[in-house]
Amino acid sequence: MKTNTALFERAQRVIPGGVNSPVRAFRAVGGTPRFIARAQGAHLWDAEGTRYIDYVGSWGPMILGHGHPAVLDAVQQAATRGLSFGAPTEAEIELAEAIIALVPSVEQVRLVSSGTEAAMSAIRLARGATGRSKLIKFEGCYHGHADALLVKAGSGLATFGHPTSAGVPPEVVQHTLVLAYNHLAQLEAAFAEHGRELACVMIEPIAGNMNFVRTQLPYMKRLRELCTQHGALLVFDEVMTGFRVALGGAQSLYAKAIPGFAPDISVFGKVIGGGMPLAAFGTSRDIMRQLAPLGPVYQAGTLSGNPVATACGLATLREIAKPGFFAALAAKTQALVDGMCGAARDAGIAFSADCEGGMFGFFFAEQLPQHYGAVMATDAARFARFFHGMLERGVYLAPALYEAGFVSAAHDDADIAATVAATRETFRV
């Protein structure tokens, strides 16, 4: 039998750190990554045949669970017709129409292959459309690894304690201002000083790369006002939250709470690909006119709108748009979070948790953190112990305290109950 340890050793000989994306290496929690052999529904099996309840879901895309029959069927049929053409297809129109139908702020989309590419292209579009260079991002928000955005990004980077990455010249990030999340005075000051030079403000509307941190409503309202007043574009990075916290993404939640609210540009990924490499950015027709081939802002991709990925994304969106889908998913996620909080209360452990739709976060802290510094001040040693305790009991959580968790439609009551029971046991030892 192949063991995780043997595979990890072999992987490290030919792949840096043994992984193709840093957080998979378990550096934040220690130990050996599980090499996944297969998955079905809410479950993963590693190379040793051990089964886990999966709360990573490929970091968000697997909202239907693994191996959903409608999705598999769509992918198989698309693959039979051809893997890639480098020419337009009807499926791309259908996916664009599906996204636009669900997100009122978006009139046109461009499909790309990763969230990184979508966020990078959205910034270029914002700069091209405004003729301005500066942008604001927030500490702990991750927008993929484009150079200009690799400043105090959360997630994988936080593990290594780099506020930024080597290999990014200072000149490349000189136009990127980094502010603390939910810090109103800083925001006001940044706009007072740089407002007229700002192309855009990019934000995770519920931050999922510093675990799970909501934007406070008055803060979001003021951010919208400031952007409008100064002619800066508000870019919502909904790569994680889009089609995950609600059918219309996090922006639908803010629109409900703040009359007339909408971002200017939206960035999507993860769920819209259903597990295949697919992402998108979209905005008004007016701004999209700046994009090649119509306008001067260049953007392209050999595999953009790939027919197999597009079929996978479209099949996924059709399932989650069915009536009652999000209510059921949200109820499951809430049950999980309530169960974990109850276990912590009974064990007398400082713990807090939050969720929206099929996304959740928990902290070893009495109160929910509001910004990156507070997230990183939560108990990391306790988190690592908890992570391994859960893993030993067959629950696969994100292997770092600054990552959000995900529940899928395939998680059933038994999975949630088993997870809560594992939490109770882990808290006991």
Ligand X SMILES: *Cc1c(COP(=O)(O)O)cnc(C)c1O
| Residue numbers at the binding site for ligand X (CB under 6 A) | 114-116, 119, 142-144, 204, 208-209, 237, 239-240, 269, 279
Instruction: Show the beta-strand stretches assigned E in 159-278.
Output: 176-179, 198-203, 206-207, 213-214, 233-238, 265-268
- Closest residue (Cβ) to ligand X? 115
Nearer to ligand X, 235 or 409 (CB): 235
Q: How far is the CB of 282 from ligand X (least distance, A)?
A: 15
140 vs 339, beta carbon nearer ligand X: 140
Give start and end residues of each alpha helix (H) in 103-202: 115-130, 156-159, 184-194
DSSP at 62: -
CB 21, min distance to ligand X, A: 7
Q: Report the distance separating Cα 247 and Cα 358, nearest Å.
A: 10
CA separation, residue 99 to residues 37, 102, 267, 307, 314 (Å): 32, 5, 11, 16, 9
Record the tokens describing residue 174, joined without a space.
């000189």
3-state secondary structure of 201: strand
Q: Which active-site residues does the annotation give? A: 142, 237, 270
| Minimum CB distance to ligand X, residue 316 (Å) | 15
Query: Based on CB atoms, which residue is closest to ligand X, 68 or 270?
Result: 270
> 89 and 313 in contact (C-beta within 8 Å)?
no
Q: Nearer Cβ to ligand X, position 271 or 422?
A: 271
Comparison of 96 and 149: residue with beta carbon closer to ligand X: 149
Q: Which two tokens stand for residue 344?
A: 């912590």
State the minimum distance, in angstroms, from the CB of residue 267 to ligand X: 7
Which residues touch 239 (CB under 8 Å, ≥6 apart)?
115, 118, 119, 143, 144, 267, 268, 269, 270, 279
Minimum separation from the CB atom of position 118 to ligand X (A): 7
Name which of 19, 5, 61 is nearest 159 in CA terms.
19
End-to-end CA distance of the chain: 31
